[in-house]
Amino acid sequence: MGTIKQNFANNVETGGTFDAQDLTGTIPAANIANSSLSDITTVPPTASGGDLIQSVASDPPAPDFGDIWYNSTEQKIKLKTQGAGSWATGGNLNTSRRWMGTSGTQTAALAFGGDPPTTGATESYNGTSWTEVNDLNTARYGLTGAGTVDTASLAITGYDPIPTYTNLTESWNGTNWTEVNDTNTARFGAAAAGTQTSALVFAGEIPPNTVNTETWNGTSWTEVNNMNTARKYQGSAGADNTSALGFGGQSTTNLGVTESWNGTSWTEVNDLNTTRTGLQGSAGIQTSALAFGGEATVAQSLTEQWNGTSWTEVADLSTARYNMGGSGTTSAALGFGGATPSISTATEEWTATTPNQSIQGS
């Protein structure tokens, strides 16, 4: 390989630091590692991306869509990609309803509240069937929910016939609902994202439609920066109160507008392909979301997938409907209830293949 000549005058300083100025001298060839990209045997943290790309001996057992890692055994950088997906029939709800609150995953979901008639009924889904569990303390519809598991969820705001718009918040521990601190603004048809201890509620009708956004820290709600576009009945996704996505909904007309929350402010990003309202069915996180159902003059079966930049139309629901419930991720989601316009108990399960793709050859 030859030698690399460099100056080393005054290069080592007190404390072991290295001064790169005025380098002269020779590094023996034996001290130079083979730098051929076709013969990489190990990738140190800096070369494999440091904190950005994790180095592992084998592929993670259940990576999320968009995850990147370095497989040191195969000597490849890999990416979890989103393959084709489809909807399949799941177990029906016990109580037909629309405008309900939802939380959880495809195999551990929660549906609560809704109408008609106004109900506090709560049901838990185990991946096969729905089971009735303890009711909300206050029956209402047009509420929203937060929580990534069915044993730790929030039921937020909604419409209670007495006294109409409400700011109630209830917390679910897997067995019972407990009233906790109210939101600052009572509303109906709001959207939410996050978990039982780190949630976000935004927009909705107070009336009129609002841009109001509030964060939940596990104890209380705090008003933060508003959305750019006032609306109700939009879809939402997000892991916590620092990262969320709001899309579609209704202002004076149906919307396709998508906004992204970074923990401080909302930014408009690329719109849905089809403007619609009643996207209460949604799943995923800020950078990987699913939007399905809704209403654009008539009930919609459309499903769109968000990759962090843009929406792509994918496979449709079997049954077109709006104001439905939803939970899960972009690879394993659940859609249930809603209006066709008749009120439905139908549940559908979304499954997408997510192959591991190499983005660096061996």
Identify whether 158 is part of a domain: yes
Q: Which of 317, 311, 320 is nearest to 334 (CA)?
A: 317
Those residues with Cβ within 8 angstroms of residue 117's Cβ, 6 or more apart along the chain or in another chain: none
* Residue 66 lies inside a defined structural domain of this protein: no
Statement to judge: residues 179 and 290 lie in one domain: yes
Can you give the residue range of the structural domain that contains 158? 85-352
In a shared domain, residues 258 and 179: yes
Question: What sign does the dihedral 328-86-256-264 (CA atoms) show?
Answer: positive
Residue 12 pLDDT = 56
Q: H helices within 269-330, ranges in order?
A: none
Non-local (6+) Cβ contacts of 301 within 8 A are 292, 293, 316, 317, 318, 319, 320, 321
The reported pLDDT for the residue numbered 60 is: 82
In the predicted structure, residue 273 carries a pLDDT above the cut 70 = yes
Q: Which of 284, 83, 329 is nearest to 349 (CA)?
A: 329
pLDDT of residue 119: 97
Residue 321 domain-assigned? yes
**pLDDT surpassing 90 at residue 45:** no
3-state helix, strand, coil in the chain (%, to 5): 0, 45, 55
Domain identity same for 138 and 284: yes
Note the pLDDT tens digit of each residue in 203-240.
Answer: 999 999 999 999 999 999 999 999 999 999 999 999 99
Res 357: pLDDT: 60
Do 22 and 142 fall within a single domain? no
CATH of the domain at 245: 2.120.10.80
Q: Tell me if residue 39 falls in helix, strand or coil.
A: helix
Same domain, 99 and 6: no
Paired tokens of 209? 């439609």
**Are 27 and 147 contained in the same domain?**
no
Kindly report, residue by residue over 59-117, the tens digit of the pLDDT.
886 576 567 888 888 777 877 665 568 999 999 999 999 999 999 999 999 999 999 99
Residue 179 covered by a domain: yes
Average pLDDT for 124-148 = 97
Does 361 reside within a domain?
no
- Mean pLDDT across the chain, nearest whole number? 87
Same domain, 209 and 131: yes
Per-residue confidence (pLDDT) for residue 221, from 0 to 100: 98
Q: Are residues 94 and 186 in the same domain?
A: yes
As a whole-number percent, the residues of the chain with pLDDT over 70 amount to: 80
Least reliable range by pLDDT among 8-17, 153-162, 164-173, 338-347: 8-17
Residue 60, phi then psi, degrees to nearest 5 = -55, 145
71 in a structural domain: no
Which residues, listed in sequence order, are joined to residue 245 by a DSSP beta bridge?
237, 260
The mean per-residue pLDDT over the stretch 305-334 comes to 96
Q: Is residue 339 part of a domain?
A: yes
**Are 26 and 95 contained in the same domain?**
no
For residue 87, give both structure tokens. 């909807």
Q: Please tell me whether residues 125 and 16 are part of one structural domain.
A: no
Number of domains within the chain? 2
Peptide bond into 116 cis (omega under 30): yes
238 shares its domain with 176:
yes
Could you tell me if residue 299 is inside a domain?
yes
Same domain, yes or no: 19 and 117: no
How would DSSP label each residue in 125-138? E-SS-EEEEPPPSS
Q: φ, ψ for residue 264 (rounded to 5)?
A: -125, -45
Return the ∠ at Cα 298 (arms to 249 and 207), rounded to 5°: 35
Confidence of residue 44 (pLDDT cuts 50, 70, 90): low
